[in-house]
Amino acid sequence: MLLMRKRVKVLIFAIFVALGIGISCGQNISRGSFPKGFVFGTASSAYQYEGAVKVGGRGQTIWDTFAHSFGKVLDFSNADVANNQYQLYNGDIQLMKDMGMDAYRFSIAWSRIYPNGTGEINQAGIDHYNNLINALLANGIEPYVTIYHWDLPQSLEDKYKGWLNPQSIKDFAMYAETCFKEFGDRVKYWITFNEPHTFSVQGYDVGLQAPSRCSILLRAFCRAGNSATEPYIVGHNVLIAHATVMDIYKKKYQPKQRGSIGITLDSFWYEPATNSTADIEATQRAIDFNLGWFIEPLIRGDYPSSMRTRVQSRLPRFSPAQSAQLKGAFDFIGINHYTTWYANVNNTNIIGVLLNDTLADSGAFTFPFRNGKPISDRAHSVWLYIVPHGIRSLMNYIRQKYGNPLVLITENGMDDGNSPFKSIKDALKDEKRIKYHNDYLTNLLAAIKEDGCNVRGYFAWSLLDNWEWGAGFSSRFGLYYVDYNDNLKRYAKDSVKWFKNFLAS
């Protein structure tokens, strides 16, 4: 009971901060407003950017399979070409340099290094990433490298069902160590995994992302799976894989290479739909089953108590050695944050109860509406509502509950739709995106300077419009517009000019 009261107090504090500090977006902020050494960059991922899926010895991934399966992607597209950054990276680096960005977060495609997931190294893949890393450094841009951004080699899925099998831990560790050996003399910032919560739930609970596994009631989306157990098994194996790779890096490479390593977690912020105790407690559970699921093992060596209580035997257990290895297994925590929703208690989710999945387990119903009214203005994506104070509330929650660890905002941004009826000239006028970044950065600055949150970097999603997973090309998150009908030409949106001025100030 005492633990519950503490959690509620922390949550109420963060909500109070969120609701009590209206920060004006008219406030003038610039790079100089942030602490010395604060890093600004843009973010991307291999599958969404590179294209060239059959070039340079690259093997197939689970996302290649998913994207080529009928009906999986909203606009029936795939990422075979994407932005073709595999060949056009030099030009894209010049775009970053021209903006004044400090860093570029990108991911390495596992199947370019090991086309079959294991076995012989593909030298062409090593050469490509060496060239990319060298070009970034030559232009004064620091590489921040994500080792795994959802694109599991299809051969490992076929061989042993990928992340459902503990063998994935060993194979991932071998792949990660190869990255440290080949690139660690120049790469000083590593991220093991991007958003394990998202690919555990979307890939193995609801089946809306690769490898598209879910329970019988959702067979319209997937052919096999178990929503009640598989998300937790995948999350468990990923956490152990992260801790294993951290241990390898810390012992064998960090003393000489002097780099830093962490993990990127996704998190909405949630606010109670009402001030009832039931809704406040449900909001805490919503956070536990999103952020807490993956950050708490890294802080305390085990899952949140609400998960243990509600999931019971379906939630795997860490051995004492695994728990000890997980605790403190990070130099920094990456946070991908975009939006804020309401949460209330959920006792009537019949489908969820039948599925016995993560939604039902949380006992929280989350939605961006209250009494029929949206929480705020929306971007293009149906889930992305623009709530700038949410980033300040989330940073304060992490500070209060988890001891103020070093945090990097590894993704933040908003999208416009890809309308065939809008001219390129009009598409470049993205005042809404400018306001989004200004307002979120203003709130982030307040979290740092006024509240003492330990945040040292901000990466905008994304440098370019790109292939947005299940949304395909229907969504445009880029600072630069990509013309998919004219050789992937890049055009600067007004937000590029805003960032250029912001970073030069």
* DSSP structural state of residue 60: P
HEC letters along 325-338: HHCCCCCEEEEECC
- Closest to 60 measured CA to CA, from 76, 75, 79, 73: 79
> Which DSSP helix (H) or strand (E) runs through 343?
strand 340-345
Q: Active site includes 468?
A: no
C-alpha 389: how far from chain center: 19
d(CA 267, CA 72): 24
Angle at 215 between CA 241 and CA 62, to 5 degrees: 45
- E strand or H helix that includes residue 299: helix 293-300
Rounded CA gap, 341 and 267, in Å?
Answer: 11
Does residue 457 contact residue 103 with C-beta atoms inside 8 Å?
Answer: yes
- Whole-number Å distance between alpha carbons of 271 and 279: 9
Residue 349 has φ and ψ, to the nearest 5°, of -80, 90
Are the C-beta atoms of 443 and 388 separated by less than 8 Å?
Answer: yes
Q: Are 307 and 288 in contact (CB under 8 A)?
A: yes
Cβ(495)–Cβ(433) below 8 Å: yes
182 is catalytic: no
User: Is-cis flag, bond preceding 272, omega within 30?
Assistant: no
DSSP 211-228: T--B-GGGTTT-SS--TT
CA distance 477 to 67: 19
β-pairing, 416-417 vs 475-476, is: antiparallel
176: Cβ–Cβ under 8 A, 6 or more apart, which residues? 147, 192, 245, 248, 249
CB 59 within 8 A of CB 116: yes
Q: Residue 482 has which token pair?
A: 């990509």
Q: Which helix (H) or strand (E) holds 288?
A: none
d(CA 381, CA 368): 12
Pick the catalytic residue from 50, 195, 271, 281: 195
Catalytic, out of 50, 230, 296, 411? 411
Closest CA to 307 of 7, 2, 10, 18: 7
**How far is Cα 391 from Cα 444, in angstroms, rounded to an integer?**
6
Largest CA distance in the chain: 62
Catalytically active residues are 195, 411
